[in-house]
């Protein structure tokens, strides 16, 4: 197909440039959304006793992730029709309430697990409890990935989103394998490189999550919105 037939801003290089531009803008918007929480984290030390306060600082990350998923899902591949910042803000306006309803309980539950594991020697519980708590925490994260995607792209009631996220996690997988792989890479990169790595790669990680969630998104659209 000739360049004239394809049209300016619609070729492979233009689409690649549009994707890079969208990822960078969404990353910047996400960092601006979570900036108040990041500022709070800078004043907290690494002591496990600060985990509850750190969780409070991370509350804005839920709406930020939902808005980023919305913006990436509705991105344009046409270099001449790019409005990622505007789309992000629309997603933030539409999804903040739902995202907080999903993210806040998940964050609280993960904080309880993390606090228990960091103080496990004081609990007097057998060692296998630690492994069980870790598995529960990973499962909660994978459920949360499904829930954030569904909540960001659809307008279900919160309890229906909770059920659908669990349904795709337990029965159809959803984005769980890809999300689990991404989780392993993030943890490894954080431990070996820098704690800022997840923040710097947020838009790329969410884009990967969105891509791996396509079957779940399609089934949700066909089976629950028709």
Confidence at residue 156, expressed as pLDDT on a 0 to 100 scale: 92
Confidence at residue 122, expressed as pLDDT on a 0 to 100 scale: 73
Confidence at residue 23, expressed as pLDDT on a 0 to 100 scale: 92
Confidence at residue 5, expressed as pLDDT on a 0 to 100 scale: 46
SS3 for the chain is CCHHHHCCCCCHHHHHHHHHHHHHHHHHHHHHHHHHHHHHHHCCCCCHHHHHHHHHHCCCHHHHHHHHHHHHHCCCCCCCCCCHHHHHHHHHHHHHHHHHHHHHHHHHHHHHHHHHHHCHHHCCCCHHHHHHHHHHHHHHHHHHHHHHHHHHHCCCCHHHHHHHHHHHHHHHCCCHHHHHHHHHHHHHHHHHCCCCHHHHCHHHHHHHHHHHCHHHHHHHHHHHCC
Confidence at residue 2, expressed as pLDDT on a 0 to 100 scale: 43
pLDDT in tens, the chain (226 residues): 444 444 545 667 777 888 889 999 999 999 999 998 888 877 876 677 788 888 898 899 999 999 999 999 998 766 667 789 999 999 999 999 999 999 999 999 989 998 888 887 777 778 788 889 888 988 898 898 899 999 999 999 999 999 999 998 887 655 556 666 666 666 655 545 456 667 778 888 899 888 888 888 999 998 888 6
């Amino acid at each position: 197909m000739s360049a004239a037939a394809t049209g300016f801003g619609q070729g492979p290089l233009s689409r690649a440039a549009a994707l890079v531009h969208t990822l960078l803008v969404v990353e910047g918007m996400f960092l601006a959304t979570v900036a108040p929480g990041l500022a709070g984290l800078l004043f907290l030390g690494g002591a496990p006793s600060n985990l509850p306060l750190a969780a409070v600082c991370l509350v804005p990350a839920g709406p930020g992730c939902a808005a980023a998923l919305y913006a990436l899902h509705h991105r344009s591949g046409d270099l001449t029709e790019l409005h990622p910042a505007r789309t992000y803000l629309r997603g933030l306006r539409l999804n903040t309430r739902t995202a907080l309803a999903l993210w806040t309980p998940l964050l609280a539950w993960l904080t309880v697990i993390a606090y228990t594991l960091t103080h496990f020697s004081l609990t007097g519980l057998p060692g296998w409890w630690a492994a069980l708590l870790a598995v529960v925490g990973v499962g909660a994260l994978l459920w949360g990935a499904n829930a954030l995607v569904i909540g960001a792209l659809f307008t279900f009631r919160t309890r229906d989103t909770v059920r659908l996220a669990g349904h795709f996690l337990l029965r159809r997988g959803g984005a769980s394998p890809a999300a689990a792989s991404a989780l392993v890479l993030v943890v490894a990169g954080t431990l070996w490189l820098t704690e800022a790595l997840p923040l710097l790669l947020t838009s790329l990680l969410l884009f990967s999550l969105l891509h791996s969630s396509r079957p779940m998104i399609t089934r949700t659209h066909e089976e629950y919105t028709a």
